[in-house]
Amino acid sequence: MTMRRSLRYHLAGGLAALCCAACSLDIPYENQLSDPSAITSVTTARELLASAYDRLPNPEFELSVLSDDFTTTPLISRNADLGNLYKWQTQPLTNLALSLWQSYYETIAIANAVLERSGAITPQNDSEQAQLDAVNAEAKALKAYCYFDLLRLFAPDISEGGSHDGVILKEQFELGFLPRSSIDACVNYIRTLLTDAVSAKNSPETAYWISQQGIRCLLAELELYAGQYEKAIEWANLVLNTAGGYDLFSETNYQQLWSGDAGPESLFSRHTTTSFYLDLRYDTEKGDFLEVSESLAASYDAEDLRGIESIYLKEFPGETVGETMTMRCLGKYNRMNWDATEISCIHKLRTATACFVLAEACCLQGGHDDEARTAINEYLTRRKAQPLDESLTGDDLLRAILAEKQKEFVGEGERWFDLKHYRKGVLADWSQGNSDKRIDATDYRWTLPIPQEEYFYNENVTQNEGWPKIEN
């Protein structure tokens, strides 16, 4: 029961030893949140914040399964749980909702503890003050990141009305039985957190902490979601210009993302010491349960860097002796698993996100199609992909931009958020002609259920439409 669980979080155990100082948080944490006196310095505040980062969930795989990134292979019959998630069955969705709700709110609770207890720290010099400012900024940004994901997962899309119930906003590290705030109130709160956080000049040495640049990208995404297109354009341009412009999208930088390191294109990557996406594989002799959809795989140009890194063609024995079959395995993390490359980080925010925010916002703003095409074509040129046709305008241009976005982020969960946001508009035909159509645009399951563990003792919490509110 995330919002009512005991306040005595035991966080012993610490982060596992990381490979090298150049790509690690390099911070152990053995603090207990129940002991305020343990947070007495910038160092101990940073240690506690590290445990908040460690609690952040990784729903990228599950959200990709629920989108149209993948189609099933014959091996899916060997994994009923994954097959049922792919079919949008209610039980795996309920299980996923509980896991994500708990993890996001655990992260928020620890971030709240950092913010509350850092106020008692007295920096000894300007350097320590700057470090403390960075800790507080990251704690606010991490909270905002969690709330933004929670809002998009557990509330109706904002296009359906900002007065609908959003999520529970927990501002302090204390017991509380709070109702769900409206979507509009949640957006305003997230905006306040990020606006406060972005003022700190924070440029950490690694991508494992959220930097000022990452916060700008989050603000761009939030304003796009909220329909504040001019603000979204402003923040996205600031990200791109500060990063060095479109030349950042070089072949070397892109390949580095999928070679086990964060790389210059990463704005925020979560460190991991375990393999990622192993649930996709049946075994090394037979292949994967899911493969990249045929239409998506075929849409990449031959020289497109995104296709080279995202599609991993592998040969496996067929049904009969001597027969072989080619599987369109996902590349990226999955390819690293196949190639036994160590996965040290999971990318949460990438600079490419700002490029797509800019293009989408220009297109949606109206009268700025030229700017949208310029932005997306500058990016596509660096990815060695064909630029969009100059004749594309309006909804046709927006659909083309979203198609390119899927090619960039296939297997990273981004497509699910776009489908939910645009499924009743420009992506209304996203599953037409697909014999594997699994869910309609109006289906209630696009909004995940509030877990029973949350509302069981809190009568102020409402359940989402279509999902039952179990009373016992």
Contacts of 119 (CB under 8 A, 6+ apart): none
Is 286 domain-assigned? no
Residue 95 within a domain: yes
Note whether residue 471 is domain-resident: no
- The structural domain count of the chain equals 1
Rounded CA separation 101/55 (Å) = 11
Q: Residues 385-414: pLDDT tens digits?
A: 999 999 999 999 999 999 999 999 999 999
Residue 99 sits in a domain whose CATH number is: 1.25.40.390
Report the alpha-carbon distance of residue 61 to residue 302 in Å, rounded. 26
Backbone phi, then psi, for 352, in 5-degree steps? -60, -30
Domain annotation covers residue 329:
no
Nearest 5°: phi and psi at 161?
A: 125, 125
Q: Is residue 281 part of a domain?
A: no
Q: The tokens of 340 are what?
A: 């036994």
Residue written as token pair 């972005």 = 198
Output the pTM of the full model. Answer: 0.91
- Alpha-helical (H) ranges within 26-125 are 42-55, 60-66, 80-86, 90-118
Checking 15-20 for CB contacts under 8 A at 24+ apart, the result is: 15/50, 15/54, 15/271, 16/273, 18/271, 18/273, 18/344, 19/342, 19/344
Domain extent, residue 207, equals 21-273+347-455
Integer-rounded Cα radius of gyration of the chain = 22
- Determine the longest span between alpha carbons in the chain, in angstroms: 73
Token digits for 198? 């972005």
The pLDDT value given to residue 431: 65
Residue tagged 């010491």 (tokens): 273
**Four-point Cα dihedral 242, 245, 251, 257, nearest 10:** 30
- The pLDDT score that the predictor gives to residue 413 is 97
Q: How far apart are CA 348 and CA 133, in angstroms?
A: 22
At 313, list the tokens: 């063609």
- Joined together, the tokens standing for residue 412 give 């990273």
Amino acid at 137: A
Q: Does residue 316 fall inside a structural domain?
A: no
Mean pLDDT of the chain: 89
How many residues are given for the chain?
Answer: 472
Asked if 465 and 444 touch (Cβ cutoff 8 Å), the reply is: yes
Q: Is 347 helix (H, G, I), strand (E, B) or coil?
A: strand
- Is-contact 169 147, C-beta < 8 A? yes
Nearest to 115 by CA among 126, 107, 127: 107
Phi, psi of 173 (to 5 degrees): -85, 80
CA distance 139 to 180: 22
CB atoms within 10 A of CB 432: 7
On whether residue 336 sits in a domain, the answer given is no
Tens-of-pLDDT digits for all 472 residues of the chain? 443 333 223 332 333 332 332 233 333 333 445 465 678 899 999 999 999 999 999 999 999 999 999 999 999 999 999 999 999 999 999 999 999 999 999 999 999 999 999 989 999 999 999 999 999 999 999 999 999 999 999 999 999 999 999 999 988 655 568 999 999 999 999 999 999 999 999 999 889 999 999 999 999 999 999 999 999 999 999 999 998 889 999 999 999 999 988 889 999 999 888 889 999 999 999 999 999 999 999 999 999 999 999 999 999 987 777 788 899 999 999 999 999 998 989 999 999 999 999 999 999 999 999 999 999 999 999 999 999 999 999 999 999 999 999 999 999 999 999 999 999 999 988 766 455 668 999 999 999 999 998 988 888 999 999 999 887 6
Provide the angle, in degrees to the nearest 10, between the axes of the packed helices 42-55 and 90-118: 170
Distances (CA, A) of 344 to 32, 47, 271, 289: 26, 20, 6, 24
Query: How many angstroms separate the Cα of 181 from the Cα of each of 147, 154, 237, 241, 279?
Result: 11, 12, 31, 35, 35
Any domain includes 1:
no
Cβ atoms within 10 Å of 99's Cβ, excluding its own: 14
Hey, which residues does 291 pair with through a beta bridge? 71
> In angstroms, rounded to a whole number, what is the distance separating the alpha carbons of residues 170 and 107?
11
3-state SS string for 371-416: HHHHHHHHHHHHCCCCCCCCCCCHHHHHHHHHHHHHHHHCCCCHHH
432-446 tens-digit pLDDT: 645 566 899 999 999
- Give dist(CA 431, CA 423) in Å, integer: 10
